[in-house]
Amino acid sequence: MSDLQELYQSVILDHNRSPRNFGPLDGATGTADGKNPLCGDQVSVAVRLEGDRLDAVRFTGSGCAISKASASLMTAAVQGKTREEVESLFHRFHALVTGTLPPAEMTKEQLGQLIVFSGVSRYPIRVKCASLAWHTLRAALADDATTSAMPVTTE
Amino acid sequence: MTTSLIAEGTTAHASLAPRHDFPLLAEQPALRYLDSAATSQKPQVVLDALTGFYATANANPHRGAYALSAAATDAYHAARATIARFLGAADPETLVFTRGTTEAMNLVANAWGAAHVQAGDEIVVTALEHHANFIPWQQLAKRTGATFRIVELTADQRIDLDHLASLLSSRTRVVAITHVSNAVGAITPVHEVVRLVRAHTNALLVLDGAQGAPHLPVAFDTLGVDFYAFSGHKMLGPMGIGGVIGTRARWAECQPWQFGGDMIEWVHDQDSTWNVLPYRFEAGTPNAADAVGLAAGVQYLAALDMAAVRAHELALLDYAHARLADVEGLHIFGPPPAERSGVLSFALADVHPHDLATILDEHGVCIRAGHHCAQPLMRRLGVSATARASLYVYTDARDIDALVDALVHARRIFGATS
């Protein structure tokens, strides 16, 4: 598989074409907006927490295939997880796309469908595309109804 | 169609300037550099001029009473004269050096604008402007309480001259317009703009030549505008040097905007007096080395002949249009090639420009993907970004062919629907 084929795997192209969990979220308990000012990508993530568990998460926005697919696959991956589980998955994902994840952990068991982002690490300037939605999700989880979260950027 | 063009052996296939004159391109024969609107590659003569200055004439100009400083001063003055002549200004002292167009526009907005624009006045720009010719005026309007007006565009992103005419009045104090759009390449009909502005206003007329001076013949003295700004690094020169040419009458209306060494006549305890043009607006140690480098760059361009540069880009644009017609789902922004500089700004079906740039990079094709520092234009196009391929004197048909092949590949990867 060439670098380019690994970057643009069919799962990524599919989620780019038909993003899952795309649209507004009823009864959101937290929201955040993320932007990559240099390229104009933007994503809004809305979460609904039940206690410590992520009951629902949806997103809206526009951007390149990597950023859209990342947001889409992220929403599928974190649904039903606790904050702590989300946080740990974020760190694993971040290590994957920055190329610092030990090969032994680069498995479908550890990463689920997120493993399709393994090709990103070979394109350092695209790391921010893949990580924008995740940074925004973390801000949305830190958001509560009384304060509005700071805009997120990956720059 | 492609085959017949090749068979006819059109001149579009050769570059105007030999690729081996440009060390970076010579070193990387497979590189297809199509981002000259962002910055041009540099010929060896420019690099030689830079090192030549530092190796033989390096001293602080205008300072020392010794021969070496005089040599540096002479080199700096000679560079000014060469660049002024290239841009058609008979009086070299009306050329003030800056870091580039951005600093030049900030200079004019501050040095002229701050003293002459007040509440109730109107400042007119267009929706085509690069942020460098937009924000300085937007913020001047905000500071002074002037009204900021934006000329809208035709369906193919040319300045709507009727709309421009409708915005002009005795209240108009500044009209700031791009000579050539960096984002879509549309060439402004300068004579028509000058005629309209002079007929309806006494406004200051400023032209952003960042994409004009590198690609079109420019004759400042017959252009009829008050200021013309340019960037050296887009016209074969080094980064960090550019300038603005103005009429003596308009320079006389300007106040110094940066203070320090070189720009003074005399400094008293409580006030100071100013040096003459152009030094009055060049505070601090001048960027003499880069000015000398740029002078070598414009001499290289003059030898190619700017009319030939334009003809070369036009021929390549026509060739590119013919070849790109085969790429399904491709939309090219901007007016037809005859009214466009060497810029191909495009969208490929629903493939995002950043994905295009990554795929093209894999083919060795360098393009720009983004908002091109023209967010007002992107809003009007209804996109967050476009992909932009831009041409110059060293571009040849192989560059265009590689672009087309890479776009076809991108389409295949994305199975794009148009």
How does strand A30-36 pair with strand A41-50? antiparallel
Residue A94: is its pLDDT beyond 50? Answer: yes
- Kindly state whether residues B153 and B245 are assigned to the same domain: yes
How far apart CA B207 and CA A44 sit, in angstroms, is 39
Of B206, B214, B187, B307, nearest in space to B251 by CA: B206
Residue A87: is its pLDDT beyond 70? Answer: yes
Binary contact (A64, B362; C-beta < 8 A): no
How far apart CA B182 and CA B173 sit, in angstroms, is 25
Chain A residue whose CA is closest to B374: A40
How far apart CA B336 and CA B180 sit, in angstroms, is 14
Of B354, B378, B415, the CB nearest to A64: B354
Binary contact (A7, B384; C-beta < 8 A): no
- Kindly state whether residues B288 and B152 are assigned to the same domain: yes
pLDDT at B38: 98
Binary contact (A13, B414; C-beta < 8 A): yes
Q: Which residue has the higher pLDDT, A143 or A3?
A: A3
**What is the per-residue DSSP string for A92-136?**
HHHHHHHT-S-GGG-SHHHHGGGGGGGGGGG-GGGHHHHHHHHHH
Cross-strand bridge partners of residue B172: B122
Contacts of B384 in chain A (CB under 8 A): 40-42, 62-63
Is residue B182 domain-resident?
yes
pLDDT per residue as tens digits for the range A25-58: 999 999 999 998 877 789 999 999 999 999 999 9
CA dihedral of A141, A146, A148, A149, whole degrees rounded to 10: -30
- Kindly state whether residues B197 and B143 are assigned to the same domain: yes
Cross-strand bridge partners of residue B230: B243
pLDDT per residue as tens digits for the range B385-395: 999 999 999 99
- Kindly state whether residues B103 and B247 are assigned to the same domain: yes
**What is the per-residue DSSP string for B15-53?**
-SS-GGGSHHHHH-TT-EE-BTTT-----HHHHHHHHHH
Contacts of A7 in chain B (CB under 8 A): 358
CATH of the domain at B335: 3.90.1150.10
Q: Which residue has the higher pLDDT, B83 or A152?
A: B83
Average pLDDT over residues B267-295: 97
pLDDT per residue as tens digits for the range B344-358: 999 999 899 999 999
pLDDT at B123: 98
**Of these residues, B79, B206, B295, B373, which one is catalytic?**
B373
Q: Is residue B306 within 8 Å of B393, Cβ to Cβ?
A: no
pLDDT at A152: 74
Chain B residue whose CA is closest to A61: B384
Q: Dig out the tokens for B198 from the structure.
A: 């002079």
Q: Which of B245, B276, B302 is the last residue of a domain?
A: B302
Contacts of B415 in chain A (CB under 8 A): 13
pLDDT at A151: 62
Contacts of A65 in chain B (CB under 8 A): 351-352, 355, 414
Is residue B38 domain-resident?
no
Note the residue count of chain B.
418
pLDDT at B9: 42
pLDDT at B4: 40
Compute the mean pLDDT over every residue in chain A, rounded to the nearest whole number: 91
Average pLDDT over residues B61-87: 94
Chain B residue whose CA is closest to A35: B384
- Kindly state whether residues B368 and B288 are assigned to the same domain: no
- Kindly state whether residues B260 and B404 are assigned to the same domain: no
pLDDT per residue as tens digits for the range A23-34: 999 999 999 999
Of A7, A8, A40, the CB nearest to B371: A40
CB-neighbour burial class of residue A20 (10 A; exposed 0-12, middle 13-18, buried 19+):
middle
pLDDT at A39: 75
- Kindly state whether residues B135 and B158 are assigned to the same domain: yes
Average pLDDT over residues B194-216: 98
pLDDT at B326: 87
Compute the mean pLDDT over every residue in chain B, rounded to the nearest whole number: 95
My answer on whether omega of the bond before B278 falls inside 30° of 0, hence cis, is yes
Measured between CA atoms, how close is B391 to chain A, in angstroms? Answer: 22
Q: Dig out the tokens for B13 from the structure.
A: 């296939």
Q: Which of B269, B286, B302 is the last residue of a domain?
A: B302
Is residue B35 domain-resident?
no
Q: Which residues contact B303 (CB under 8 A, 6 or more apart)?
A: none
Q: Which of B253, B282, B302 is the last residue of a domain?
A: B302
Binary contact (A66, B355; C-beta < 8 A): yes
Buried b / exposed e over B375-399, threshold 16 CB at 10 Å, is: ebbbeebebbbbbbbbbbbbbbbeb
Chain A to chain B Cβ contacts (< 8 Å)? 44
How far apart CA A45 and CA A140 sit, in angstroms, is 7
Average pLDDT over residues A127-140: 96
CATH of the domain at B107: 3.40.640.10
Is B373 labeled as catalytic in the residue annotation?
A: yes
Average pLDDT over residues B374-387: 93
Contacts of B369 in chain A (CB under 8 A): 39
- Amino acid B405 reads D
Residue A95: is its pLDDT beyond 80? Answer: yes
Compute chain B's Rg from CA coordinates.
22
- Kindly state whether residues B329 and B263 are assigned to the same domain: no
pLDDT per residue as tens digits for the range B7-21: 444 454 799 999 999
Q: Is residue B343 within 8 Å of B372, Cβ to Cβ?
A: no
- Kindly state whether residues B268 and B354 are assigned to the same domain: no
Binary contact (A13, B371; C-beta < 8 A): no
Binary contact (A3, B370; C-beta < 8 A): no
pLDDT at B2: 41
Residue A82: is its pLDDT beyond 60? Answer: yes
- Domain total for chain B? 2
Binary contact (B385, A8; C-beta < 8 A): no
Order of strands across the sheet that contains A30-36: A53-62, A41-50, A30-36, A152-153
Residue A101: is its pLDDT beyond 50? Answer: yes
- Amino acid A7 reads L
How far apart CA B292 and CA B77 sit, in angstroms, is 9
DSSP classification of residue B256:
P
Contacts of B355 in chain A (CB under 8 A): 8, 64-66
- Kindly state whether residues B109 and B239 are assigned to the same domain: yes
| Touching B: A residues 77-106, CB under 8 Å | none
Chain A residue whose CA is closest to B353: A64
Average pLDDT over residues B143-165: 98
Average pLDDT over residues B311-315: 97
Average pLDDT over residues A4-18: 93
Range of the domain at B315: 2-30+306-413
Is residue B188 domain-resident?
yes
Is residue B376 domain-resident?
yes
How far apart CA B394 and CA A41 sit, in angstroms, is 33
pLDDT at A154: 65
| Touching B: A residues 115-134, CB under 8 Å | 123, 126, 129
Q: Is residue B9 within 8 Å of B340, Cβ to Cβ?
A: no
**ipTM of predicted assembly, 2 dp:** 0.89
Residue B417: is its pLDDT beyond 60? Answer: no
Which of A4, A122, A123 to probe the B interface (max B CBs under 10 A)? A4
Average pLDDT over residues B57-71: 91
CATH 3.90.1010.10 fits A3-143, yes or no: yes
Within an 8 Å CB–CB cutoff, is residue A63 touching chain B? yes
C-alpha atoms less than 13 angstroms from C-alpha of B270 in its C-beta half-sphere? 0
- Kindly state whether residues B190 and B248 are assigned to the same domain: yes
pLDDT at B149: 98
- Kindly state whether residues B238 and B156 are assigned to the same domain: yes
pLDDT per residue as tens digits for the range B265-279: 999 999 999 999 999
Q: In this prediction, what percent of chain B has a pLDDT beyond 90? A: 94
Average pLDDT over residues A63-67: 94
pLDDT at A149: 47
| Touching B: A residues 23-42, CB under 8 Å | 38-42
Contacts of B353 in chain A (CB under 8 A): 64
pLDDT at A150: 55
How far apart CA B343 and CA B388 sit, in angstroms, is 7
